[in-house]
A and B are shown apart, each in its own frame.
Chain A
Amino acid sequence: MAMEIISSQMKRVQLFEVVGRVDSTNASELGAAMDQAADEGRNYIVLDLGGVEYMSSAGLREMVRVLKRVKRSGGDLRIANPSERVREVLELAGLDSIFEIYPTQVEAVGSF
């Protein structure tokens, strides 16, 4: 399965639900979707990774890039619901201390 991104504009937060596989062939699409929100001044972003079965470092790279960008504008990129495997990879890269990670989408959205 390839990757699917479902984007929803909420009151304060731009929510992206990602489904499938994020790797070097499609990570830039995910980055571009988040960039578009940031371009429109929507810098409070939640990335729901609940549907992500696999993510390589290409996906992490885009997440870190967008996090840096939105933080410069006073925003944040927060992660919801990563699988055990994806969470392990975030921890290995030390990203669990850089991203705010929430067990559920509701908590991540509500954190803003």
Chain B
Amino acid sequence: MGEVNSLSIAARLEEVRDACDFVVRAAESSGLDERAVYHCQMAVDEALTNIIEHGYGYEGADSTIEIRCQTENDRFIITLIDDSPAFNPLEHEAPDPDEPLDSREPGGWGIYFIRRLMNEVSYERENGRNRLTLVKHIVPAGELEAGQGGEAELPFPVRKIESDAVVITPSGRLDSNTSPKLERVLNLMLEEGHIWLFLDMTEVTYIASSGLKILVSAWRRAQDQKGDVLLSGLQPRIVEIFEMVGFDMLFKIFPTLEAALAARSKTG
């Protein structure tokens, strides 16, 4: 159990900045990387802004919000405690990032970002106080965490098997919302010289055109560098989609990851 750092601010928007600075310092010293620190800052900003606007209705200047930060093993934990009326932000419906401009509602994005930016979010009402807990997982340098966290988390574990080869295991839906994360992983791997990309697709339940596009672009880049993208474990529905768009002709597809790995060791 790590040391707890605590800061109290008046429930006014003007004080949120101090809370952000406080969280940034604590997050940095917990070993989070720059991107994760930014995520923590934004999640805290959004959460505090919500509490001040909706919890206190801008009338909380005499009330205080406490911000606690602590590091517990590989988890950086932020707790926000306030005494505004009970409000569980997690019960509210999140907006849809696929919504077109015309029908976009202005509100609701704060909690959406909190859930997407953090790995765990929970709410409790306790002794007349709201307690919102935000957790970011600390990933040791060199390991890659591609997921965004929150309930919509799409963790794409990456396992380096040789200096030029990695196994990537995406899961869930690869749609316009989640494909950019896979793209980032694939690009990063290619930039690091891992030109043999083994995609274990066992856990992928759906792939949209945005996901297909990203696979092709990774395949091209891998081919340019004399590597390849090898897919394995496709669910029948995914095979159907691949056949529909002719991708079964483009990619080397194997029933299992082991078969994919064996195929490469034969040729390479």
Q: Chain A residues with Cβ under 8 A from B177's Cβ?
A: 94
Bound form: Cα–Cα A65–B107 in Å: 11
Interface-facing stretch out of B37-45, B120-128, B157-165, B217-225: B37-45
Query: How far in angstroms is the closest Cβ of chain B from A108?
Result: 18
Question: B45, B101, B106: which contacts A23 (Cβ < 8 A)?
Answer: B45
| B99 contacts A94, C-beta separation under 8 Å | yes
| A97 contacts B176, C-beta separation under 8 Å | yes
Within 8 A of A (CB), among B22-47: 35, 38, 41-42, 45-46
Interface-facing stretch out of A4-12, A42-50, A84-92: A84-92
Within 8 A of A (CB), among B82-103: 96-102
State how many residues of chain A have any CB contact under 8 Å with chain B.
25
Within 8 A of B (CB), among A20-48: 21, 23-25
Q: Does A106 have its Cβ within 8 Å of any Cβ on chain B?
A: no
Query: How far in angstroms is the closest Cβ of chain B from A58?
Result: 7
Interface-facing stretch out of B109-117, B166-174, B235-243, B259-267: B109-117
Q: Does A56 have its Cβ within 8 Å of any Cβ on chain B?
A: yes
Chain A residue at smallest Cβ distance from B184: A88
Question: A54, A56, A94: which contacts B97 (Cβ < 8 A)?
Answer: A94
| A92 contacts B17, C-beta separation under 8 Å | no
Q: Does B49 have its Cβ within 8 Å of any Cβ on chain A?
A: yes
Query: How far in angstroms is the closest Cβ of chain A from B134?
Result: 15
Within 8 A of A (CB), among B164-199: 176-177, 180
A-B contact pairs, 21 of them (CB 8 A): A23-B16, A24-B45, A25-B16, A54-B42, A56-B45, A57-B109, A57-B112, A57-B113, A60-B109, A61-B106, A68-B101, A68-B102, A88-B35, A92-B97, A92-B112, A92-B117, A94-B97, A94-B98, A94-B99, A94-B177, A98-B101
Q: Ordered nearest first, which 6 A-B pairs have the shortest CB separation?
A: A94-B97, A57-B109, A24-B49, A56-B45, A85-B38, A61-B106
